[in-house]
Structure 1
Amino acid sequence: MLSTVKIHIKSSKGNLSLLPAKRFYHEKVIDHYENPRNVGSLDKKNINVGTGLVGAPACGDVMKLQILVDDNGKIQEVKFKTFGCGSAIASSSYVTEHIKGMSVLDAGKIKNTEIAKELSLPPVKLHCSMLAEDAIKSAIKDWESKSALRGKKFVQAEAMAV
């Protein structure tokens, strides 16, 4: 899909002029940006909820991703809140749909390149998919720490031993 952006350029005479610039965004990015899935929050005090909060200081994007994990290590629910560009929001939304129903072991293996490829992100937007990968890992790490506090072995460690 094509979107038009107006760019302000200062001319040699000091006047501002508007030039149309065209950008191409993949339909999946536009869909997830305009209709984000799983926006919201889970109760971070819930011992079965892992919360990941990550940010990219260079561009100002901030992503919070939360997972609700059952006793078998399966992700039952995923929520996110992202403050950032359309590609960051689309990456968050896509990831929530993708990891819901997965084991934490499988979700922890997701790489930013997979996210970027699925959304057809250009190289300049790869940091958005990196944020999503980091948010997943951070949420899993938080959930692991809560599991350890209640004396339950982490399901991923058991699965890796098999």
Structure 2
Amino acid sequence: MWDYSDKVKEHYKSPKNVGSMDNPDAVGEVGSISCGDALKLFLKIDSNGIITDAKFQTFGCGSAVASASVLTEMIIGKTVAEAEKITNQDIADELGGLPEQKMHCSVMGKEALEAAIAGFKGENIEKKVRSKVVCGCFGVTESKIREVIRENSLKTVEEVTNYTKAGGGCGKCKPDIQKILDEEIAKRNNGKKERPLTKTQQILKVNKILENYVAAELRKDGGDIELIDIDGNKIIVNLHGACKNCPSSNLTLKNFVESILKEHLGQDIEVVEEE
């Protein structure tokens, strides 16, 4: 189960500015119901270029509702030029943060705003967004993946899936996503390889993943996990509580713990229990 901030809960339970709008000056529509998320954003813009009202209609999860709701509050009173500068991270920050797996909801809000402003300016939206579709399951294009990678400094396929949903269906596009990631990371570092993490940095990163994604699940059944050491690509752990003497402990390590770490670290690793 994901942890949501009080502000996310507030905007989900009592969303602001829900509904359609008569004679809007701009409309941005993104996503599709068939893919699980859709958002339509309506704007009223006065002669001075100030957004005087905003409303939305959405089909999606609580995070999608909250992201759209808080976005309308963020943009009302701003000029179009000021609204254009809002990023998906700004939306997430305004909500007090979103679980990594729900960051695509803030991206959808940003895209709806972009589409609305583009239409208001008379730009050819279809021409602007036309790009090769990488993820057929969710209709995610290469240009969208590259843009989100750049704006959020993403490093793994799992992060790309969290922010765009690409790769979250059949998974066949994951090698293509990895290729795009490699190209964008190379550009980010001017063609230089990223510096390897120090031992301390590795331990901090692995501990964070274990705490956020593994330990909480094990504790539900009376178990727990502790990081002991990292030796190259080998991550050494200790299982505690109900997990310690469980006959399925090896399956827990390989099918759950190791799988989660591989998703987040984006590299071949092995999880073993301390002898």
Q: Same fold by TM (over 0.5)?
A: yes
Structure 2 residue 41 is matched with structure 1 residue 65:
yes
1:23 CA displacement: 3.4
> Counterpart of 1:86?
62
1:25 CA displacement: 1.1
- Report matched runs for 1:9-158 at 5 Å: 22-43=1-22, 46=23, 49-55=25-31, 59-119=35-95, 120-145=97-122
Alpha-carbon distance in 1 for matches of 2:90, 2:34: 22
Counterparts in 2 of 1:53 and 1:35: CA distance versus 1, 3 Å: same
C-alpha contact 1:56 1:131 (8 A) present in aligned 2 = no
* Normalised TM-score (structure 2): 0.42
C-alpha contact 1:68 1:75 (8 A) present in aligned 2 = yes
Count of matched residue positions in the alignment of Structure 1 and Structure 2: 122
C-alpha contact 1:42 1:49 (8 A) present in aligned 2 = no
3-state SS, counterpart of residue 95 of structure 1:
helix
- Structure with higher strand content: 1
3-state SS, counterpart of residue 121 of structure 2:
helix
Alpha-carbon distance in 1 for matches of 2:105, 2:60: 9
Structure 1: gaps (5+ residues): 1-21, 147-162
Relative CO higher for 1 or 2, CA cutoff 8 Å, sep ≥ 6?
1
Alignment root-mean-square deviation, CA? 1.8
> Counterpart of 1:152?
none
| % identical aligned pairs | 48
> Counterpart of 1:18?
none
Aligned partner letter, 1:51: V
